[in-house]
Amino acid sequence: MAVYALTGFSLVSLISFGYLSWDWMKPGLVADVPTGPMEKSLPPAFARPPHIIFILTDDQGYHDVGYHGSDIQTPTLDRLAAEGVKLENYYIQPICTPSRSQLITGRYQIHTGLQHSIIRPRQPNCLPLDQVTLPQKLQEAGYSTHMVGKWHLGFYKKECLPTRRGFDTFLGSLTGNVDYYTYDNCDGPGVCGYDLHEGENVAWDQSGKYSTFLYAQRVSKILASHSPKEPIFIYVAFQAVHTPLQSPKEYIYRYRSMGNVARRKYAAMVTCMDEAVKNITWALKKYGYYDNSVIVFSTDNGGQTFSGGSNWPLRGRKGTYWEGGVRGIGFVHSPLIKRKRRTSWALVHITDWYPTLVSLARGNLSNVPGLDGYNVWPAISEGKESPRTEILHNIDPLYNHAKYGSLEDGFGIWNTAVQASIRVGEWKLLTGDPGYSDWIPPQTLTNFPGSWWNLERLTDGLRKSVWLFNITADPYERYDLSEQRPDVVRALLTRLVHYNRTAIPVRYPAENPRAHPDFNGGAWGPWASEDEVEEWEGGGGDPPKSRGKKKKCKICKLRSFFRKLNTRLMSNRI
């Protein structure tokens, strides 16, 4: 029998946490905006394609929003969600690139070759060019398309860049994480470069501006320069709240009573992001877009508990296939929703946004067969049943195989050593190594010796490779039913076999020294020439290490000095 141990404080006290009340329309520090009600009138007739604003946050934990009982102040998100439709059966992927690729393509990662890990900065890899992307479909429907924020879908050649994949404009970073002020990203010791781009050029002049502020301000500028009579799609992929934990000190001061330093900084970043969303929403109203707009809010994966995030009361964290890694915060806010102010338990997955938004835009989906997503707008707007009944969380043949898994344990049809997870109806199956499996309460107390968080730990199950849960009855994954219901295990393994037959080979090439920022003037960016790309993609193998000469990087030493100085300054922040 499983043995649980809860340390630190009682389960009852954790579940009873409430969020702090706060005037959500109080003028914020992102911009000085007037106050007023969010909704003044009934929605107009759905007479023309709506403006679409898709907001994606990075590493925000399931618990880390006010309406999930958090101690973090998110009055804007709380209000938008309360006036719209909260998605409480909403799923994403456990890490960055997979969620973003599935949003942009409407396909599971086994159908794009991105089923293993993320796209690394030095890999000659990107979102497959044969995929018709969401912004491309919206362009076809007459939309102006803009991206602000984190790309993380590859950039080794120019054809991979956001402006070549359907976006008219782009301001943001290409890699997975950067400094919020200097926009530096180090992919290993000594492999550092600047990563903020405007279109296809390096945006050196924007250095020093806090990214959450910068991105919200850019959205406002886009709205100010566009006509609300013409449909617009803006994809806002905030860097927040991914590490490094950096925030203006005035936001950190609000959480000065938090004993845990990481949680304090993380909370400040979440609240800062919340105010950025407030300013984006206000810009939609100010410039005449709001009444015909659809705002979608989504996280990209579970929170990283070692960096202040919390997925409580769900099991696991970012990078795992437990609910804490794949169940996301999601809601839709729009005057166009027919049944507002409610919570939806309709099953929704991040791949569903592609067909849903293209359908809202009155675009054509007939020339993109084989999508894994569904149009869930009737479920969201009208409360109808979701067309989705199952989710393939993933099949990753390259991930470390579980020590105790075998084909025999998989009824001779599936090797349970392989990392995989699927949900069918109310049942969820995991095989292989699903990742870190503890339940970690919010990190609100002062650091404890040897650990800065308290946890409830499952102490058995270390020799397992198959888990089965009734996720509807047991959303916290406490009661493994794999031994009691072998019939269900076998049925779900059969579905994994089905999906695996449709998978394309994993694309996860070796890192290439040619990608080093020093070869590109000190910045991350496309580095492969057309001749090189033709040679590699034609079967010539990995790029030769000696190819190309280093471009002189006159500012690298100076930037290195400022990077070290900035690090010291950050270490002195609250």
Q: Kindly tell me if the per-residue pLDDT of 456 is higher than 70.
A: no
| Average pLDDT of the chain, as a whole number | 86
Cβ pair 253, 295 in contact under 8 A: no
Q: What is the pLDDT at residue 535?
A: 59
Q: Kindly tell me if the per-residue pLDDT of 490 is higher than 50.
A: yes
The residue-averaged pLDDT of 482-490 equals 98
Token pair, residue 259, equals 């004993």
The residue-averaged pLDDT of 440-456 equals 52
Q: Kindly tell me if the per-residue pLDDT of 275 is higher than 70.
A: yes
The residue-averaged pLDDT of 397-421 equals 96
Tokens 């969401």 -> residue: 134
Q: What is the pLDDT at residue 511?
A: 96
DSSP 419-449: EEEEEETTEEEEES------B-----SPPBT
The residue-averaged pLDDT of 283-310 equals 97
Q: Kindly tell me if the per-residue pLDDT of 459 is higher than 70.
A: no
Q: What is the pLDDT at residue 45?
A: 42
Give me the residue spans of the domains in the chain.
Answer: 51-388
Q: Kindly tell me if the per-residue pLDDT of 309 is higher than 50.
A: yes
Range name among 206-220, 321-335, 484-498, 530-544 with the lowest pLDDT average: 530-544
Q: What is the pLDDT at residue 443?
A: 63
- CATH class of the domain at 51-388: alpha beta
Residue scoring higher pLDDT (41 or 342)? 342
* b/e map 467-503, b = 16+ CB within 10 Å: bbbbbeeebebeebbbeeeeebbeebbebbeebeeeb
Q: What is the pLDDT at residue 462?
A: 64
Q: What is the pLDDT at residue 284?
A: 98
Tens-digit pLDDT profile for residues 88-141:
999 999 999 999 999 999 999 999 999 999 999 999 999 999 999 999 999 999
Q: Kindly tell me if the per-residue pLDDT of 30 is higher than 60.
A: no
Cβ pair 207, 555 in contact under 8 A: no
The residue-averaged pLDDT of 392-407 equals 96
Q: What is the pLDDT at residue 442?
A: 76
pLDDT confidence band for 16 (50 / 70 / 90): very low
DSSP 60-117: --TT-SGGGT-SS--HHHHHHHHHSEEESSEE--SSHHHHHHHHHHSS-GGGTT--SS
The residue-averaged pLDDT of 376-397 equals 98
Q: What is the pLDDT at residue 40?
A: 34
- Cα dihedral value 340, 344, 349, 350, nearest 10: 30
Q: What is the pLDDT at residue 82?
A: 98
Token pair, residue 56, equals 């994606």
* CA–CA separation, 331 and 296 (whole Å): 6
Q: What is the pLDDT at residue 46?
A: 60
Tens-digit pLDDT profile for residues 532-568:
665 555 544 444 443 444 444 434 444 444 444 444 4
Report the percentage of the chain scoring pLDDT > 90: 78
The residue-averaged pLDDT of 265-280 equals 98
Residues catalogued as catalytic? 96, 152
What sign results for the dihedral spanned by CA atoms 352, 358, 360, 363?
negative
Q: What is the pLDDT at residue 21?
A: 31
The dihedrals phi and psi of 387, each to the nearest 5 degrees, come to -70, -10
The residue-averaged pLDDT of 170-191 equals 97
The dihedrals phi and psi of 298, each to the nearest 5 degrees, come to -150, 145
Tens-digit pLDDT profile for residues 225-264:
999 999 999 999 999 999 999 999 999 999 999 989 999 9
Q: How far from the centroid of its chain's Cα atoms is residue 34's Cα?
A: 31
Q: Could you give the C-alpha distances from 477 to 59, 169, 299, 329, 438, in angstroms and in order?
A: 21, 43, 21, 18, 10
pLDDT confidence band for 441 (50 / 70 / 90): confident
